[in-house]
Structure 1
Amino acid sequence: MYVSTVLFSAGLAAAAALPRQAEGTCTNPPKRVEWRTLDREAQQHYVDSVKCMTEKPSEMGLANTTRYDDFAYVHTKLDHQIHSVAQFLPWHRLFVQAYENALHDCGFQGVMPYWEWSLDTADVTNSPIWDANKGFGGNGDPAIDPLVGSAKKCLVDGPFAGLQVAWTMQGHNPHCLARNFNNGTSYPGNMFSNYYDNKTIVEIATLDNYPDFRYRLEGVPHGAIHSAVGGDMSPATSPNDPIFFLHHTQVDRLWSMWQQAKPEERTTAFGGPKTQAGETPEATIEDTMSFLGLIPDVKIKEVMSTQTALLCYTY
């Protein structure tokens, strides 16, 4: 099971290359914006760039896979090192940036958009993010009983209907991209919307230390979205679904907002378990994050701010 889904359950109980500017300085950083604020042309440009990645061969030497599949492969292999641990936020921050850079290699000229889930909690299943023309397509095949299994509910509309992705938790196993909207007991239900509404986001933002903030943000709402979308978004192969990257850009946005609330303290605020077992010593910003060759390994301290040469963006 996807470890953040496990953390989500605990939260319910507790309530390429390096970035393009890495060699220079960060001046006039571009601003990442919410998906639905993009005009139709910009949305299509983004989607076309993602499709380009699904047509390019792996750059990691992985047979019969694509550049797009490289991201799910790395995320899956590092599952236990990057979830339910202190480096969850900085690791995914750079992972999303690496994805944006790969989009640039496909001609993308924008910056990563995010999906602000709290805008949709009144009716998540009808969010514009799932629109077949202006979004990422909707739920998996309605003709398939959701109780049969998430993996069988292939996308039937939108730009990624018919997309074949390479990886499952068992290894290389090409299959259709699938979604299975749910709330744990019904399909689609409310998709756990009460765990990523504005009230929850505000409560998490009030947490004053990094370990508590990371724990709550990772479990709820982060884990709730993975569980609610289901299908390929549920296990650690979740980067199979293009919505993963807008989801994690929103997670990064909330961390960045938390940091900017007290920048002198929180730009370096870090700590917590280095491993899921919680062995000592605890994590520090001097620790190095592995990316298995997707991009060069980087120390955590290098991505604690989004406005450095390595990242260079704002929200």
Structure 2
Amino acid sequence: MTEIVQKNDRRLEVDTLRGLACLLLVFYHVVGSSAASGLHVEKGVLREFNDLLVHVRMPIFTVLSGFVYGARPFSGGFFEFLVGKAKRLLVPMLFVGTFFALIQSFVPGSNHRVESWLLLHVIPYAHFWFVESLFLIFVVVAVLEYWQKITDGRSFFFVLLIAVLLMLSGAGFEYFSVKGAVYLFPYFMFGLLLKRFALLDGVGRAAGVCVLAVVFVCMLVWGERIGTDRQSVASLVVAVSSVSALYAMRLKFYWLAWVGVRSYSIYLYHVFFAAGARILSASMEVDSLGAMVVLGVVCGVLGPILVEHLVPDYSFSRRLFLGASVKRDRAK
């Protein structure tokens, strides 16, 4: 990831949203996806807030992935494109994901264990499912680009419609995170739509604020009706409306963008430091839930950034730990 936040407005806006997505993700794993994970929060504002955001967190990451891809799309060389994505996504997933599975299996105080080592990563493990899903999406998108099926508006919207219908149908299976790819694909296409066809470029910031406020109120009032099913019409509406509103608001915060440019490192490593902060808090008998949440989020964000700085500046080590080559980092 780049070390310096570029001052180009569009890049700053994208990195700001990446930073926001990182904070939401780390917060999610600190609090826990359920009462049996994270800080074991069973009820209350934190539990309800964390559950409601299930409709927003991964869509933000995926929409931004589609948007960024649109800036440097597939342009020929199918094999080279997929090898590059495999190095970027699958290599660190296999290395870091396997190490995380070992840590969770043998360190006291961890919340999960590996059920079958033979199927590790065949059945997606922990949050690394997203990386596998994203790689599959890039495979499909490269094929569509090669066949020129998403270059004009009509064919693009047809593919987007098919993607939405598949997502709502619940199609797919867990192996290699195919189901996750089906769930995320409409959001990737929406991000590409924003970039390729400048869909919301004419929408003002005030409109974005109003839409986000309406979505927030609806989630508070009808949260139970919306539920936590991510592959429902309600979830799709909440996700697209929220991301569209945030995009239209043109947020520009340098401190969030500073976090955002390190989003992949944070995604890979935040669980190590968030879990470490939780175990440390328990050993020190810290009984303030707020303090534990703040400590977990701070460690979950800053810890991976420290890892990024400590990884030796060699192509092999940076590829293995971060999915990035030295040449690419320096070029940015």
Q: Name the TM-score class by shorter chain.
A: 0.3 to 0.5
| TM-score normalized by the length of structure 2 | 0.32
Higher helix share: 2
Higher strand share: 1
Q: Which one has a bigger Cα radius of gyration?
A: 2
| TM-score normalized by the length of structure 1 | 0.34
